[in-house]
Structure 1
Amino acid sequence: MKNPAFAAVRAAALVPAASLSLLSMATMPVFAQSSSSAMLEEVVVTARRREESLQDTPIAVSAIGSDMLDNLGISDIEDVERLAPSLQFSQTNYKAPAVFIRGIGQRSGNPVLDPGVGMYLNGVYVPRSDAQLLDAVDVASIQVLRGPQGTLFGKNNIGGAILVDSKKPFTDTFEFGARVGAGDFGDKSLKLDANVPLTDALAMRLALNVKRSDGSIENVSADQSLFDQDRMALSSRVIWYADNDWEVDIFGFLSRIDERGSPYNCAFQNGDAILTKGYYRGQGGPDLEAACNESSALAEDFKVSQTAEDAVYAIDNHMLALTLRGALWGLDVESITSYALQDNIRISGDSDGTAIRGVAVGPDAGYQVLRGAGESIAGATRDQFTQEFKFNGMAWNDNLTYTFGVFFAQENLDNSIDGTEVGDNGLVAVGSDAAVNLPVTPPDAMVLPVQANAIALADYENQTAAVFAQGSWDMSESTQLTLGLRYTEEQRSTVQIQGTPDYEEYANRLNAQIGSNPAIVQPVTHAMDGIYSPVSLQQYYAYRAPEVPLTYAPALKGDTTFAEFTPNITVNYVAQEEMLEALNLDSFMAYATVSKGFKSGGLDVRSTQTESNIQQFEPEVVLNKELGFKLDALDQRLRFNVAVFQMDYTNLQVALYERGSTQTEVVQFTGNAGEAVVDGFEFELTALLGDFSVTANAGYTDGDFVEYDLGTNTADGFAIVDRSNEAFPQVPQNVRGVVLAYDWHSPVGLIVPQLQYYYSDRIFIGTDYLSGEYDNSTIGQYELYNARLRWEINDRMGVAAYVDNLKNDPYFVGGIAVTSVIGVANRVPGTPREMGVEFSYKFQ
């Protein structure tokens, strides 16, 4: 295993060399364009819960404004990863991406786990990772705060935070905008926004975003394509300027997503996994390995072969927030009250990635299990109430700026459902090669019928309370010291009910079919777990899969409390005029910070070889050490920001798949993996070269496990497995992106050709103790070229044409390998070349 300290030193050593080379490349053309009067605009951020210049803020933060989002045609939050270093929206087993910053995030959508990156919409925390896929509706700015934000923000910002702020209404004029787009694969989009002054002190904004597409990845096993879009988002914001001191801000948001799930290209791995030994029924054939190889061969053509009903992504998001801002007792006061609701939740993944009805997991798979049992349940709902009070002030002749406040959140998840459906409504069969440690061994040409459905029903209640304070003291004209502290207390409680088939009654229902078909002549008996006595292959295929009677274990109940202090200390230096003149810079700021992040632990059901019970997993904690600098140069035509970091990461929360307590059960559980060190560096560069502009970023993230000893059910029983040599999951080591643009001021308007480049390193997608033994648990590196031509006809009207994935090379963007149980790695393909046009109009 590589020495983490050596890696950190190496990363730090690379930064000066990289900085000098980039500066030299960026500055040479600028001198040739020195007559240009263009300057980089000042960017205002709220990374420290107050408005500050980006270049004066001692935090690694990327800020993308509405103009840049529009110019690049970005309307999905996940596309921002190409503009911000060390940010990844990873695709795993569901379509909703898992957000990672600097290698820290959470790839599971299990409701017992909080996301590792905090997402905030107008200051309101979005609690569930599968609800973080937000459309960029009427967005004013998106800020990506890298590294733990454990002091000033709501909760669980262990990897970082993403702040999405919508445009504020204004009272002086009416404004209406429309953007219409169309492209390949039936792509259609519509964006409308309006600013409506109501009185001299009251204004409202309305925005609508609708997207439809047929999907760009053809599913050859069904009359459909995947990566389809069917979503709508509506936002409204009303601001009342009550007087000179106070304003009332009411924000409402509604989004609806109803789409098919992620496409997968299956790669076969482990022939000893029990589910690879199955004989499957229905479309796709009986052999999982053959079906997997067929799927793998389709990847070069941007096609997949999957079961149509096993992968869905549907969720409704509702949010209402009331924000009060004003002055009180000489302080700037802000109160944010919010209520959020998610319902109509149907999310599942096709875990075998083939046309076989193999393995489906997730909430929608749970509903399939219930339908297969002739049962139903009220739909899952999630609601959250939050209240925050924040106070900003200044003291000591304005040499001290400070922020303090309190935060409270109450989240309830009712009727949460998770299911596993294997085969044809749970009906598969295994032959003699799979009959290991079983009381019955089938003779040749005979198989053991298996019933392998399972379901979990749960209610969760999560409560968070916190107090926080931070102050920045100007010790001199050039040096500032910032100290911050947050105390957070988390209370978690849950009630969980596990449902399994009534194996004896299921045998009766299979036997009730004797004589209904000439092939069904042999009765079966329940041998163990979900396994039955041998029948011929002909009889097995002749069965009609009956309803699966379910039995429910007594409710498992648990509650726990976690508490943590998360401090922050930062020292930053701002160069004064004499130094700036000597260095020929416009501005320079350097900072050093040590900060701590905390993500709550929780409760999850764990099945062992002997029992199922609620087990507690501990909070994740990150200690971040970071150095950085920010500079503007060449008459504010060059901006270059760099950060170097090392993070000590303890009690990693991991969601793993394993064999259950039976021979047929697939169990996902949550545990703590041990310790890791994550180090790296990142930079952002913006340069104006006359009419040319260059925006570039790069990130290097190197994660190494120091300790990864986690007990798991193996083929030989329960064992502690050392996985410390395993690659860090779901995070590319190197990423980089560049946007080149040229402003041509033609006689017919401004014409801007743009070229965007993005590179991502290889990614390890393994989940269990065997994944690291297979090369195809790692997806390869890839690069993308996107082109866009924008024509601004006048101040009101514009047209744009785009081509994404110019090279049309196949590639993978993520995936999940479940090696020990399912025996396959599922890889999520990227999209093929896509072309389209957009028309925009603005009226004032």
Structure 2
Amino acid sequence: MSASSRQWLVCGVAGALMSTASPGRAQSAQPELEEVLVTAQRRGERLQDVPITVTVLDAEQVQHARVQQIGDVAIRTPGLSFDAYPASQPRVFIRGIGSSDRGAAGDPSAAVFLDEVYLGRPAAVAFDAFDVERIEVLKGPQGTLYGRNVVGGAINVLSRRADPSAFDAGAEVTVGNYRRLDGAAFVNSPLADGKAAIRASGSWRTHDGYVRNTFTGNRVEDQDTSSARLQLAGQPTDNLRLSLAVDGTRDRAAGPAQHVLDLDDGADEAVFWTVDRDRKHTAGATDGYQDRDTWGARVQVDWDVPFATLTYLGSHRDLDYSTGYDFDGGNAATNLIDIAGTNEEKSHFYSNELRMSSLPSARVAWVAGLYNFGSDTDRLDVLALNIAGDALDEIYTQHATLDSYAAFGDVTWPLTDRLSVTGGVRYSRDEKLYRVSNTAGAAIVRADERFDVTVERSYDAMTYRVGASFNLADDHLLYFMVSRGFKSGGFQDTPSSAADAADDFAPEYATQYEIGQKSTFADGALVWNNTLFLLDYTDLQTRRVLDNLAIVTDNAGEATIQGFETYVSWRAFAGARLTVSYAYTDATFDVFSPEPGVDYAGNRISRTPEHKVVVSPSYEWLLPHGATVSFAADYSHESKIFDDNSNTGPEFREPTHFVDARVIYTSVDERWSVSFWGKNLTDELTRTFQGTFLGANFGAYNPPRTYGATFSWNY
């Protein structure tokens, strides 16, 4: 960060803090902003009272902006980036911290939780964000409050719960281009004279492929997804609450559509490839497939005792995943080498959490608990090369088990009416057993030898958070927080030798220092929040491609990530709202030498834009007869991104500008509405994935312009 940038950031926060000393008089004509409630600290709180950086998408935003999957969340959240190859194995990065390791013994650095349940495998991040209460994005290390420790941050998807107070139901149908046809519905019914309730919701999403394969004649990058969730909740006594939920997702798609994006002019193999940058077409020898089935069960028991609430939260989830793809996007007529791959995975994972937390009425807010997470994963990784008719297939089989245990506690103690201090600690221990073999297959491509290796390691760490918050005045909060996160070590998914298979990579750690301010002005009509942060990141786990096509995970040494985030939500007059959020992220390596003679110190961390801004204006027009028409848009800009830590070569993304918009008519009684919407209206073209080896840079593109109409009905 330059000196001028530092001065600008400090002045911005200082200006916000000084403005809290003499808030302006509210104009009576200005409407109040609605209260946003979150559970980021494992208790219900106003967003403006939470002393950490949280981005929230509420139920209305999720529905109207067609936020359905993690990628839709990322485009609207500064500090959050999303990358997937293929799309059914998403990779999440928060403030520059993420992981591309999909091996059976790897872990994500930024995690996704579904109703507080950790989704432990990348392909398990499969759900439809329909009938959700809100989506919270927590930035920075987590662990003293949430069961599974993460380094970069967490995305919490919170479903609407079964409600015993009233019957409710709703449905929606969507039609759009690319022959899109979506449907979704829910029903909530009280039971047992209002002491219990059942809630069922489901959805399906279908559309034709965005890309035509000119070699096979078929369309790829289509969608055929079905999701369902069933919940049962009851309150047998005044101090006992029970809930049970079962959910599942079935996902089918062809693709992804790959392309030869650039030639690596310094490589002899560059002559084998033909550049193809046509987003609308691919020419792969096969269409590819992405099949995913995942389901889970969740049980929660809350028992109020005189001084606290005792909670048990248990879960079990299954994943059955299979994908096959043409990596180069060409055939014998276009490319002299054909590269294809297959991944198959079956995973079972569970979690148990027992915690005790303070009652909502308690002056001191605290939580303490024990946590256990376990997983059992079988994974198959196949690389198939066809060089001038000579077929070479290499197969890696992986089996990994993980047993993770933790004890955690966190307390917020008000010293005065305005000053509170927070402290939390967590002990984590991960035990991993891993077996990897390349004894199957016709060839050795990425390895130097045949091997079958079984190895076992354990990793443990003590992490913490400590901070303070001070109310300068009513509705004006200043806070400081230090938090440390830990991600355990692991093993190579496609090692080149028995020695590499037995040699683990070390855990990574991140310590975040954050100072922030949250202010509300004009009786709630204006919200302005600012955050300055610095992350000290050590032993970060990074992926790189070797000359023999092997992909290895290294510990990169040290990195510093620092930046500034601001959020403004303003209702200037009745019906009008403007929301602006911006993140500046300076993420660079301090020490990183991936091999002798190569120094990446000073380079930017991959997949991390320096600037990201989201602007969302909206206006609700009240018609004379009482119905309303709403106009809303979302503009998102990201600065350039390097997809490789070398910061050189073709793995580079130009800055992007995305525009979504919608017009919504809502009836007088608010029972039904119709929405006309468009996403990526400017038909922005960007690369969502790319990787360079064997003389070329291969990659895929984002979806094109889509539009449609949605009819919604509520009981």
| TM-score exceeds 0.5 | yes
1:390 matched to which residue of 2? 355
Do the aligned residues in 1 keep the contact of 2:231 with 2:244 (CA within 8 Å)?
A: yes
Aligned residue identity for 1:183: G
Tell me by how many angstroms 1:764 deviates.
0.9
Aligned residue identity for 2:643: I
- The alignment's C-alpha RMSD in Å is 2.8
Say if 1:725 and 1:311 are closer, same or farther in 2 by CA, change over 3 A: farther
Do the aligned residues in 2 keep the contact of 1:487 with 1:566 (CA within 8 Å)?
A: yes
1:663-674 superposed matches below 5 A: 666-674=549-557
SS of the aligned residue for 1:784 comes to strand
CA distance in 1, matches of 2:14, 2:582: 11
CA distance in 2, matches of 1:609, 1:405: 42
Is 1:621 the counterpart of 2:536? The answer is no
Say if 1:751 and 1:383 are closer, same or farther in 2 by CA, change over 3 A: same
CA distance in 1, matches of 2:311, 2:28: 45
CA distance in 2, matches of 1:675, 1:752: 48
Aligned residue identity for 1:636: G
Cα displacement string for residues 588-620 of structure 1 (whole angstroms, at most 9, x for unaligned residues): 001111110111111226645896532201111
Is 1:493 the counterpart of 2:433? The answer is yes
SS of the aligned residue for 1:79 comes to helix
Do the aligned residues in 1 keep the contact of 2:436 with 2:501 (CA within 8 Å)?
A: no
1:580 matched to which residue of 2? none
Tell me by how many angstroms 1:151 deviates.
1.4
Is 1:206 the counterpart of 2:94? The answer is no
SS of the aligned residue for 1:113 comes to coil
1:121 matched to which residue of 2? 114
SS of the aligned residue for 2:604 comes to coil
1:482-561 superposed matches below 5 A: 482-499=422-439, 501=441, 553-561=450-458
1:242 matched to which residue of 2? 236
Cα displacement string for residues 289-325 of structure 1 (whole angstroms, at most 9, x for unaligned residues): x2xx1x12x2xxx323241536432211110011001
1:192-341 superposed matches below 5 A: 192-199=185-192, 200-271=194-265, 273=267, 276=270, 287-288=272-273, 290=274, 293=275, 295-296=276-277, 298=278, 302-307=279-284, 309=286, 311-328=288-305, 330-341=307-318
Say if 1:650 and 1:840 are closer, same or farther in 2 by CA, change over 3 A: same
Is 1:475 the counterpart of 2:445? The answer is no
SS of the aligned residue for 2:407 comes to strand
Tell me by how many angstroms 1:193 deviates.
0.6
1:752 matched to which residue of 2? 630
1:99 matched to which residue of 2? 92
Cα displacement string for residues 363-402 of structure 1 (whole angstroms, at most 9, x for unaligned residues): 15xxxxxxxxxxxxxxx4200111001111269x944221
CA distance in 1, matches of 2:39, 2:56: 10
SS of the aligned residue for 2:286 comes to helix
CA distance in 2, matches of 1:494, 1:460: 4
Is 1:130 the counterpart of 2:120? The answer is no
SS of the aligned residue for 2:248 comes to strand
38-47 or 79-88: which moved more?
A: 79-88
1:381 matched to which residue of 2? 346
2:164 matched to which residue of 1? 171
Q: Give the TM-score taking structure 1 as reference length.
A: 0.79
Tell me by how many angstroms 1:96 deviates.
3.0
Tell me by how many angstroms 1:530 deviates.
7.5
CA distance in 1, matches of 2:542, 2:86: 14
1:465 matched to which residue of 2? 405
Is 1:698 the counterpart of 2:601? The answer is no
Tell me by how many angstroms 1:187 deviates.
1.0
Tell me by how many angstroms 1:60 deviates.
0.4
Tell me by how many angstroms 1:11 deviates.
4.1
1:137-152 superposed matches below 5 A: 137-152=130-145
Do the aligned residues in 1 keep the contact of 2:13 with 2:530 (CA within 8 Å)?
A: no
SS of the aligned residue for 2:590 comes to strand
Tell me by how many angstroms 1:176 deviates.
1.4
2:487 matched to which residue of 1? 599
Aligned residue identity for 2:622: H
CA distance in 1, matches of 2:445, 2:466: 57
CA distance in 2, matches of 1:310, 1:722: 40
Aligned residue identity for 2:305: L
1:17 matched to which residue of 2? 12
CA distance in 2, matches of 1:92, 1:734: 24
1:677 matched to which residue of 2? 560
CA distance in 1, matches of 2:478, 2:203: 40
CA distance in 2, matches of 1:187, 1:23: 51
Tell me by how many angstroms 1:755 deviates.
1.7
Tell me by how many angstroms 1:331 deviates.
1.0
Is 1:405 the counterpart of 2:369? The answer is yes
CA distance in 2, matches of 1:190, 1:132: 21
| Bigger radius of gyration | 1
724-733 or 124-133: which moved more?
A: 724-733
Tell me by how many angstroms 1:9 deviates.
8.4
SS of the aligned residue for 2:503 comes to strand
Extract unaligned runs of 5+ from structure 2. none
Do the aligned residues in 2 keep the contact of 1:95 with 1:262 (CA within 8 Å)?
A: no
Tell me by how many angstroms 1:501 deviates.
4.7
CA distance in 2, matches of 1:720, 1:652: 20
2:37 aligns with one of 35, 44, 66 = 44
Aligned residue identity for 1:793: S
Aligned residue identity for 1:421: A
1:568 aligns with one of 462, 465, 476 = 465
Say if 1:610 and 1:486 are closer, same or farther in 2 by CA, change over 3 A: closer
Cα displacement string for residues 485-530 of structure 1 (whole angstroms, at most 9, x for unaligned residues): 0000000111111135557xxxxxxxxxxxxxxxxxxxxxxxxx77
124-133 or 721-730: which moved more?
A: 721-730
2:713 matched to which residue of 1? 841
CA distance in 1, matches of 2:214, 2:282: 5
Do the aligned residues in 2 keep the contact of 1:182 with 1:838 (CA within 8 Å)?
A: yes
Do the aligned residues in 1 keep the contact of 2:449 with 2:497 (CA within 8 Å)?
A: no
CA distance in 2, matches of 1:23, 1:732: 30
Say if 1:7 and 1:50 are closer, same or farther in 2 by CA, change over 3 A: farther
CA distance in 2, matches of 1:198, 1:12: 60
CA distance in 1, matches of 2:215, 2:600: 37
Do the aligned residues in 2 keep the contact of 1:764 with 1:777 (CA within 8 Å)?
A: yes
SS of the aligned residue for 2:524 comes to coil
1:435 matched to which residue of 2? none
Aligned residue identity for 2:377: L
Cα displacement string for residues 195-235 of structure 1 (whole angstroms, at most 9, x for unaligned residues): 01122211011000100000223333332334321111101
Say if 1:499 and 1:806 are closer, same or farther in 2 by CA, change over 3 A: same
SS of the aligned residue for 1:722 comes to coil
Aligned residue identity for 2:536: D
SS of the aligned residue for 1:80 comes to helix
Aligned residue identity for 2:506: E
State the percentage of identical aligned residues: 24
Tell me by how many angstroms 1:274 deviates.
6.2
2:702 aligns with one of 807, 830, 833 = 830
CA distance in 2, matches of 1:78, 1:23: 37
Q: Give the TM-score taking structure 2 as reference length.
A: 0.93
CA distance in 1, matches of 2:252, 2:33: 41
SS of the aligned residue for 2:707 comes to strand
Do the aligned residues in 1 keep the contact of 2:126 with 2:249 (CA within 8 Å)?
A: no
2:538 matched to which residue of 1? 650
Cα displacement string for residues 799-820 of structure 1 (whole angstroms, at most 9, x for unaligned residues): 00012222234x21421222xx
Say if 1:267 and 1:23 are closer, same or farther in 2 by CA, change over 3 A: farther
Aligned residue identity for 1:88: S
Aligned residue identity for 2:473: Q
SS of the aligned residue for 1:134 comes to coil
Tell me by how many angstroms 1:250 deviates.
0.3
Is 1:727 the counterpart of 2:604? The answer is yes
Cα displacement string for residues 537-589 of structure 1 (whole angstroms, at most 9, x for unaligned residues): xxxxxxxxxxxxx9994521000000001111011111235xxxxxxxxx100
2:659 aligns with one of 778, 781, 785 = 785
Do the aligned residues in 1 keep the contact of 2:254 with 2:288 (CA within 8 Å)?
A: yes
SS of the aligned residue for 2:439 comes to strand
CA distance in 2, matches of 1:530, 1:625: 45
